[in-house]
Structure 1
Amino acid sequence: MTASPRVAVVGAGNMGANHARVVAASPRAELAMVLDVDADRADAVARPLGVEGSTDLAAAAGCDAVVVAATTEVHLDIALPLLEAGVSCLVEKPLADDLVAVDRLIGASETSGAALMCGFVERFNPAVVGARALLDGSPVHLLGIRHSPHNPRTRSSVIDDLLIHDIDLALDLLGGSVTSVSGGHWVSPEGVEELADCTMVFDHGAVATLSSSRASQRKVRSLSLSSADLLVEIDLLRHDLTTYHHRSGEVVDRDGPIYRAETVVEIPFVRHTGEPLAVQFDHFVDLVTSDASRDAERASLRAPHAAVAQIKAGVR
């Protein structure tokens, strides 16, 4: 493989355009082409970046790696033959629209040795990276809120669109395996799943409570992690952290008994290493150019998709 892998981007929608921009700006890779079923849309993304747009999806097989940012329904059809041919793939989340298809993609990656990565971009949020370093104990609870105002153009399930991010973060930050998942959802009059909440119980006793909505009046992206002696609040939009440590209260006698307690609030420094989408792509390049961590990457993919499948089965 060349030192700078040639990368194709399949899908010229909003996410595809962002991925193409990131690939083109990377000093470690070369944007080879942008592919889409709509030729005009492919050209609109590709030409400002100095490459050609095309509708010939088969051309992606000639590249070293492919970013799949098409609609979820076609992820399997696009990525499976590429992985079988040994072409590494970064596939936007979710990997596919059901767990059977997810397993086929993971299996193809294992068989061919090609790298497979899912677009869980919040893993690379600097506030999440900073929070990992603060968790010296074992968190017992994670509360995640991921709310957005309504977007009539979005027709996918809010579980696949939003909730899956916090499911993935809960698995990462709490560790262990999930023993039970329960939840509920709301479907709009137009038949779109716009709100979904879930509770995940882990084998070590920790609990994650997650809420996702595209029916809110404001955009919220927050996580709260609680352990025995520390609360870590993560603002995923502002990329910042706040920690709280409650000290034991005491009763003091000042003209009568008074209860006094103290909470220490700190705002830790968060090291920003770049746009999360670009940091994610840099990790993908690491996977493409070296097989050292491909097994670990694959091992992190099934659990969030399995939890999504459990939630969908429980609420529908």
Structure 2
Amino acid sequence: MAEKDKKIRFGVVGAGKLGGFHSKTLSKMPGVELVGISDPDLVRAQMLAWQNNCVAYKTHEELFSQVDALVIAAPTEYHAEIGVKALEAGVHILMEKPIANSEEGARRLLELAEKKKVVLQVGHSERFNSAVVETLKHVKNPRYVTIERLGPYDPRVAATGVTLDLMIHDLDIILTMIDSDVEDFEAIGASVLSSHEDIANVRLKFKNGCVADITASRATMEASRRMRIYQQDAYISVDYVSARLKIYSKKTPVVTSLQDIEVTFPKLERKQPIQEELLHFIDCIKTSKTPTPSGEKGLKALRLALSITNRMRRFEVSSPKTQDGRESLARSLADIGKVAKVLVDEGLKNAGIDKH
């Protein structure tokens, strides 16, 4: 059997929700042998291993000598520790987002991956969402972007704030989309269900003049993931969950009626983002090419997320004023995005465009 045709032996570290998704996907992929799943909770690892016809291990070190590649889906605070050991053993890594919980840890991972000549890919799976992939083909010098990522609380991520847990997906996307450095930002957040921020909003101001408002919440009962992009001659509406994309384009320089606006619905092929990112990871292992997103891109998103977390103003949701007299979260959220939102919504309304 040719080297490139040999099955790649995989292991999964972490038997939680994401570890379960990866294990189930890997167990059904051609050209892959799922060797085992490790988790400190051996019973949980065993249950997942039974479901996917592989072996359960209590420690991740037991997997290193038996696999070519690892998916690390452990809690964020252990990413760097586990990743360093795996890279030192010469194992390729797909690290679930964020790459680490510190810039120092992320840099150590990058250095080792380079030294050992192995692939280090970061699991920003939204990059492989078919709606996002298609959207990036139509983006041209955006001036204003809004992104909302809302969903219910999951106790498994209580040790990490919503910025590192969820918003980092959108920070990665916006940094890929906008060809400019971040000049400044304003960030606010509130702790509702954990000791970290469960709701966060950031306004990013780029050097090229683009502004992006990003909101993330894990205190919302209904899941919603949407992005809206406003550029010179078009408005793009993206629904990540349903993988739908609508593009409103001006037919003429001056819009006088709805006939001057063309609405298109690009046809998307529904694909599973986790499966697509795993296929990409495997291809990078076989061809030695740089993955998307790479460790460097993962570090860039992490660095911004950590800066946002460190500079974030935090508020009490339950009272109209905090102890030191500052405004409430609701008032601040309104202030930060109010002017741009009103202007954009009114402009679309006047043009006869449904922003949804």
TM-score by length of 2: 0.81
Question: 2:168·2:301 contact (CA, 8 Å) conserved in 1?
Answer: yes
Q: Once the two structures are superposed, what CA deviation does each residue of 1:88-145 show, in whole Å capped at 9, x if it has no partner?
A: 101111111111111111111122111111110000000011112222x211222100
Corresponding position of 1:277: 274
Q: Percent identity?
A: 27
Question: Does residue 132 of structure 1 match 2:130?
Answer: no
Question: Aligned in 2, Cα 1:150/1:77: closer, same or farther, shift over 3 Å?
Answer: closer
Superposed, 1:152-163 pairs within 5 Å as: 152=155, 154-155=157-158, 156-163=160-167
Give the Cα separation in 2 of the matches to 1:97 and 1:85.
22
Deviation at 1:265, TM superposition (A): 1.8
The alpha-carbon deviation at position 214 of structure 1 amounts to 1.5
Considering only aligned residues, what root-mean-square deviation do their CA atoms show, in Å? Answer: 2.0
Equivalent residue for 1:216? 220
Per-residue CA deviations over 1:151-194 (Å, capped at 9, x if unaligned) read 45541311111100110110112233222232111112642311
> Secondary structure, in 3 states, of the residue corresponding to 1:215?
coil
| Correspondence for 1:60 among 58, 63, 78 | 63
Counterpart code for 2:311: G
Q: Deviations over 1:214-233 (max 9, x none)?
A: 12242110011111001111
* Pair 1:287-2:281 in alignment: no
Aligned CA distance change for structure 1 residues 188 and 294 (closer, same or farther; 3 Å): closer
Is 1:263 the equivalent of 2:261? Answer: yes
Residues 1:300 and 1:315: Cα distance change in structure 2 (over 3 Å): same
Q: Tell me by how many angstroms 1:204 deviates.
A: 2.3
Q: Could you tell me how far 1:298 is from its partner in structure 2? A: 3.1
The letter of the residue matching 1:23 is: L
Gapped regions of structure 1 (runs ≥ 5): 251-258
State the 1:71 CA deviation.
Answer: 0.7
CA distance in 2, matches of 1:295, 1:283: 8
User: Is the CA contact 1:181–1:307 (under 8 Å) kept in the aligned structure 2?
Assistant: no
Match of residue 43 from structure 1: 46
2:304 is aligned to: 307
**Residues in 2 aligned to 1:295 and 1:13: alpha-carbon distance in whole angstroms:** 24
Q: 1:188 aligned to 2:185? A: no
1:10 is aligned to 2:13: yes
- How far, CA to CA, are the matches of 1:152 and 1:51 in structure 2? 27
> Which letter does structure 2 place at the counterpart of 1:122?
E
Question: Given the two structures, how large is their TM-score scaled by the length of structure 1?
Answer: 0.91
Q: Distance in 2 between matches of 1:196 and 1:10?
A: 29
The aligned length equals 306
The DSSP-based 3-state class of the residue aligned with 2:106 is: helix
Decide whether the 8 Å contact of 1:130 with 1:271 is kept in 2. Answer: no
Among 21, 30, 42, which residue is 1:27 paired with? Answer: 30
Confirm or deny that 1:239 pairs with 2:243.
Answer: yes
Give how far 1:203 is off.
2.8
Q: Shift of residue 55 of structure 1? A: 0.7
**Which structure carries more strand by proportion?**
1
